[in-house]
Structure 1
């Protein structure tokens, strides 16, 4: 599953789709590869730099792809919203000065039909760059309206 496949299944288009490919997945995890962190035109760069906290966006996109994969090819993926990030550790200051691909991993820890909790990490080789946990609420607009998806 390449970048075009990914971009067709998440809300991010153009250079805001940060992932290049899905390298593996199961019902409880996904691993993706990304090289966009080296792009001088990266949309999340500030003052010419891509800070390590932007690794959370890479992880969030991996979570969205995981949701699309676990929904199956017949169902449209549900809209998800990142509602909290906990225990985040940034082990580097920036991502743009790292050569080579990033490995983005998200592991589903728990969830139901409305919420999912993931543990995430970004690595380059064996080096952990960013890690933490994130909660995702699915179909938040329906929850606000008191409807069940």
Structure 2
């Protein structure tokens, strides 16, 4: 687990994922290694959250938090100061949520993603979001790294 030195913060993350401004949802990386990443997020509490609809932030939006954690994991594994090639969320499976909304959860979320398998073009991750130590969302996601090869 890489916890030595300075771990990536919001500015580092924003420089390496395609989502900018208020759509960069993660605050920081708490820990990571070749197989997994744990990030912290508090953006779900913002009244001006870009994914809010009809005054609330539904739990399904947690999938975007997980996707961003996967992108950050890819950037860390790439080991470069530039953004890695864009990935695209190809599918999500076995998604389960245990709360109806993100915006009513405690102010700190932990976003965990574990790389299960992958090749040069496709990756499979499991993910979960935790609030106050309890899982509020979990599932699996496949990511396509180069859509032109499909």
TM range (shorter): over 0.9
Q: 2:103 aligns with which of 91, 96, 99?
A: 96
Query: What pairs with 1:16-31 in structure 2 (closer than 5 Å)?
Result: 16-31=23-38
Q: 1:17 to 1:75 in 2, by over 3 A?
A: closer
Query: What pairs with 1:6-21 in structure 2 (closer than 5 Å)?
Result: 6-21=13-28
Q: Following the alignment from structure 2 to structure 1, what is the Cα–Cα distance between the partners of residues 72 and 79?
A: 11
Q: Following the alignment from structure 1 to structure 2, what is the Cα–Cα distance between the partners of residues 117 and 91?
A: 23
4+ residue runs of structure 1 moved beyond 3 angstroms? none
1:16-70 superposed Cα distances (whole Å, 9 cap, x missing partner): 0000000000001000000000000000000010000000000000000001010
RMSD: 1.1
Q: 1:109 to 1:47 in 2, by over 3 A?
A: same
Q: Normalised by the size of structure 2, how large is the TM-score?
A: 0.92
Aligned length: 143
Unaligned 5+ segments in structure 1 are 145-149
Unaligned 5+ segments in structure 2 are 1-7
